[in-house]
Amino acid sequence: MIDIDYQQVILWVLIVLAAGFIGQFGKSFATYLIALARKKKSLPEEGKPGITTQQSEGEKSPVSVSETTGTHAKTEKKALKALIKQRKKEL
């Protein structure tokens, strides 16, 4: 007959459960940190040149951008889209 050491089995089961618990919450925490970093990165900085948040009477868009060129224009456009999206959520 096979002699089974129940204490050893229980020990390994507890080790596996503890590893799963740590892994699950580690994954959730990492996902939270990534989302937080993306949120910080997507929000435009206050007082950034080229971005105005006040709307004039004749202006159709709630945000206007000064004339820029190259990749800087793309990053400003992305920041504006994020700002518009955020304002829509607030409303």
Kindly report, residue by residue over 31-90, the tens digit of the pLDDT.
Answer: 999 999 888 888 766 555 555 555 545 545 544 444 445 677 788 888 888 888 888 888
Within 10 angstroms of residue 79's Cβ, the number of other Cβ atoms is 20
Backbone angles phi, psi at 4, to 5 degrees: -100, 130
Q: Which residues contact 49 (CB under 8 A, 6 or more apart)?
A: 66
Reported confidence tier of residue 7, pLDDT bands at 50, 70, 90: very high
Find how far residue 57's CA is from the centre of its chain.
Answer: 34
Tokens of 47: 């007082």
Give the ranges where the chain is alpha helix by DSSP (H).
6-42, 71-90
